[in-house]
Each structure stands twice: as structure tokens, then as C-alpha cells.
Amino acid sequence: MSLDSAEFHVAVYDLVRLIPVAKVTSYGHIAKLAGMPNHSRHVGQALKFLPPNPNPPIPWHRVIGASGTISSRGPGTDGAQRQRDALEAEGVEVTAGRTGELRIDLGRYGWFPSVDEVRALQGG
């Protein structure tokens, strides 16, 4: 299956919407579910260009790195901090390391379903 960049964005949005409350998954896993395992970077690219008021909403904050850490996004930005607040508001524990990295326990909050499970959730 090959996806246009626009279709890829839409596929990413649909997958992100499936993430349960108080659960997190990784960019790479979303890419895998979208059928493009090597496009983990582009998942982040897609989330960077979220539509203004999506309906239903897109819980972008439930997508973190595969190592369980929230991506920095640059020193001058507050995106990572906003993501932390949104997660804690759902009851997800976020621990801050000494180097400033925001880590989440994937064993407790990780959500990594197989492609088949996701297809079932989507109605297939």
C-alpha cells in the first residue's frame, strides 16, 4: 500500500484518534500501523501540521518517542511542557530526569496494538 503525503497525514490522524485515554504510543508504531514502518519522522511532521479545530479531536499528546520520552522540540518552545500537562491531566505519570527529559513508563501506559487489532477497531 502506498500513500500520498496528504493521505498519510489523514491515516496518521485516524490512528492517533484510536489511542485510548491515559495511554501513549510511539511515532514509529503509528508509522507501522499506517503501513510505512520507515516513516516515523513523518508522523511527527504530520502532527506538526494539525488542523486548527479537528472534529473529532486529535489527541496528539498521546504520541511520544519509542524510548518513552517526550521529544524536546527545541529549547525555546513549550510544546513538550504542554504535552506533559495534557498527559498528567489524563492521569499519566510523567517523570522528569535531571537532563530535562520527560519520561513515561511504557509498561504501564504503553499502547502498541497489532495491525489486525487496529483494523478491528476501525470497523474492518
Binding site for DNA (CB under 7 A): 5, 26-29, 38-45, 47-48, 50, 60-61, 63, 65-69, 71-74, 79, 83, 97-99, 101, 103
Nearer to DNA, 49 or 124 (CB): 49
Nearer to DNA, 5 or 122 (CB): 5
Nearer to DNA, 2 or 55 (CB): 2
Long-range CB contact pairs, 28-33, < 8 A, 24+: 28/66, 29/66, 29/112, 30/63, 32/115, 33/113, 33/115, 33/118
Report in angstroms how near the CB of residue 106 gets to DNA at its nearest. Answer: 9
The span from the CA of 94 to the CA of 9, in Å, is 27
Report in angstroms how near the CB of residue 73 gets to DNA at its nearest. Answer: 5
Report in angstroms how near the CB of residue 124 gets to DNA at its nearest. Answer: 24
Amino acid at 74: G
